[in-house]
Amino acid sequence: MLHFVLKTNIAGPFPEGNKSIMFGMGCFWGAERLFWNLKGVHTTAVGYAGGDVESPTYQHVCSGATNHSEVVFINYNPNVISFNSLLKIFLENHDPTQGNRQGNDVGSQYRSCIYTSDQEQYHSSLIKVEEFQNLLIKAGYGEITTEIKGNVVFYYAEDYHQQYLAKNPNGYCGIRGTGVLC
């Protein structure tokens, strides 16, 4: 399937040397829109990850029974955009202290999460989240609840969810950051 905005194949094959990362930050429509126009991002897709059921559907995930989160999958060229740049955008554009919600979107599928594809991403995530935690505490926020795991299986969401806000510019997505910058 071709990316509606980027015209790249969202399922690969991806260019040699590219890396991938998954971020969960509430509604996956808004999360995807944050990343698709960044220089160095080859493609994005929305889907489900971190759960207990193979090949979940949107209805199953929304029921809360699968333990999946809504995530944006990002394939990027690390020679053009660094992982830490992507991580900064992730942290600054949602509230990682809200647990199983983001704004009005409530449920475990909206939890904050980082699903890494290598040890370097994993360790960088741990360090950056700890640094951001200190900034959030100074700003009066609570503890970060972001789940950080490596090698989590990604399941593509249904086609109508892919690049939803490009196809439906008036669509709702309540992603908002804390105002704290990394």
The string of pLDDT tens digits covering residues 107-127 is 999 999 999 999 999 999 999
Question: Looking at residue 175, what is its pLDDT?
Answer: 87
Domain count of the fold of the chain: 1
In a domain? residue 152: yes
Q: Is the pLDDT of residue 174 over 80?
A: no
In a domain? residue 76: yes
In a domain? residue 34: yes
The string of pLDDT tens digits covering residues 65-111 is 999 999 999 999 999 999 999 999 999 999 999 999 998 899 999 99
Q: What proportion of the chain, given as a percentage, has pLDDT over 70?
A: 100
Residues marked as catalytic: 27
In a domain? residue 41: yes
8 Å CB contact between 70 and 101: no
What is the average pLDDT across 128-137? Answer: 98
> Could you tell me the CATH number of the domain that includes residue 116?
3.30.1060.10
Residue carrying the six token digits 């199983």: 100
User: At CB < 8 A and 24+ separation, what contacts does 133-140 make?
Assistant: 135/180, 135/181, 135/182, 136/96, 136/97, 136/178, 136/180, 139/178, 139/179, 139/180
3-state secondary structure 134-165: HHHHHCCCCCCCCEEEECCCEEECCHHHCCHH
Residue carrying the six token digits 């944050």: 34
pTM of this prediction? 0.97
In a domain? residue 172: no
DSSP, collapsed to helix, strand or coil, labels residue 113 as strand
Compute the chain's Rg from CA coordinates.
15
In a domain? residue 176: no
Question: For residue 24, what are the CA distances in angstroms to 13, 16, 59, 83?
Answer: 23, 25, 18, 15
In a domain? residue 11: no
In a domain? residue 9: no
Question: Looking at residue 98, what is its pLDDT?
Answer: 95
8 Å CB contact between 22 and 155: no
Domain that holds residue 119: 19-167
Name the DSSP class of 108. G
